């Protein structure tokens, strides 16, 4: 659009790009802060708060998850600063790191029942909820990242898929077993814990961003929210009803 001989279309497009970059950069910074706050006493500063050491596989798991979070933050920074060439190069490393997140995460999940039993820890919910829930989480994460890589030439879908993958990894930092979750869980009703509230807030924030930016909701915004808030919980509940799931989960101890 030209006004007074000046073409404003490029300026408007640049403004939309900047708004997109600011939103996803801000979300990435917030996710990183949540991860570090949630795992500060139990992992990052464990030597200050805990006496028992972590097994090697959990240390590796924590380091890989930290590397993933820092990579996502770095990716949003380079995009916000106009360096898509660096973003593409980091994406190659990101693909390998995402595979490591899933593989090591699943291994840690399958080892967790034995560790709980060894330390005499009794969960306030069935063990299979933890095991199957984590398996679902890593499967959803892997699927979202794989789809994001496949849609990397579609920048708006790619950003939102990566955003949803990041939200999936936030849940554990907000459970009552973590310092941050323990601090805030009392402010939430039992049927609406912080990790569920996080997904709702993330969905609403992304829809507001979409509407302010383009006056429409991006399909990945809608599908991602429905997947994490409705489809995944329904599939998890159905899976937990299958005969033998509980027996299998307890056999891991």
Q: Is residue 39 part of a domain?
A: yes
Of the two residues 2 and 249, the one the predictor is more confident about is 249
Task: Check residue 5 and give its pLDDT.
Answer: 45
| Count of other CB atoms within 10 angstroms of residue 17 | 15
Q: Is residue 1 part of a domain?
A: no
Q: Is residue 7 part of a domain?
A: no
Task: Check residue 6 and give its pLDDT.
Answer: 40
pLDDT band at 47 (very low <50, low <70, confident <90, very high): confident
Q: What's the pLDDT tens digit per position in 200-219?
A: 999 999 999 999 999 999 99
Distance CA 155, CA 17 (A): 11
pLDDT exceeds cutoff 70 at 11: no
DSSP track, 168-204? HHHGGGGSTTSHHHHHHGGGS-TTS-HHHHHHHHHHH
Question: Domain range holding 158?
Answer: 15-251
Contact 250, 127 (CB under 8 A): yes
Q: Is residue 3 part of a domain?
A: no
Task: Check residue 32 and give its pLDDT.
Answer: 96
Structural domain tally of the chain? 1
Helix (H, G, I), strand (E, B) or coil at 115: helix
Query: What is the mean predicted confidence (pLDDT) over 231-249?
Result: 95
The C-alpha angle with vertex 83 and arms to 95 and 65, in degrees rounded to 5, equals: 35
Q: Is residue 4 part of a domain?
A: no
Q: Is residue 6 part of a domain?
A: no
Q: Is residue 10 part of a domain?
A: no
Q: What's the pLDDT tens digit per position in 127-144?
A: 999 999 999 999 999 999
Q: Is residue 239 part of a domain?
A: yes
pTM, to two decimals: 0.90
């Amino acid at each position: 659009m030209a006004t007074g001989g000046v073409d404003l279309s490029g300026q408007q497009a640049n403004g939309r790009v900047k708004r997109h970059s600011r939103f996803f950069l801000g979300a990435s910074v917030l996710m990183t802060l949540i991860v570090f706050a949630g795992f500060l006493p139990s992992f990052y500063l464990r030597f200050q708060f805990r006496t028992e050491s972590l097994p090697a596989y959990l240390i590796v798991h924590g380091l890989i998850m930290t590397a993933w979070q820092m990579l996502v933050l770095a990716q949003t920074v380079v995009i916000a600063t106009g360096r898509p060439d660096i973003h593409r190069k980091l994406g190659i490393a990101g693909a390998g790191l995402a595979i490591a997140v899933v593989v090591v995460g699943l291994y840690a999940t399958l080892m967790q029942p034995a560790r709980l039993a060894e330390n005499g820890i009794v969960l306030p919910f069935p063990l299979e909820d933890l095991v199957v829930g984590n398996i679902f989480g890593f499967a959803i994460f892997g699927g979202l990242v794989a789809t994001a890589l496949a849609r990397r030439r579609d920048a708006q879908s790619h950003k939102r898929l990566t955003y949803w993958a990041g939200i999936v990894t936030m849940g554990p930092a907000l459970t009552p077993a973590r310092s941050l979750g323990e601090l805030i869980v009392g402010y939430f009703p039992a049927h609406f814990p912080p990790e569920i509230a996080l997904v709702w807030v993330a969905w609403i924030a992304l829809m507001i961003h979409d509407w302010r930016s383009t006056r429409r909701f991006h399909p990945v915004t809608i599908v991602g929210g429905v997947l994490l808030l409705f489809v995944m919980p329904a599939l998890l509940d159905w899976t937990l009803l299958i005969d033998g799931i509980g027996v299998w989960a307890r056999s891991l101890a």
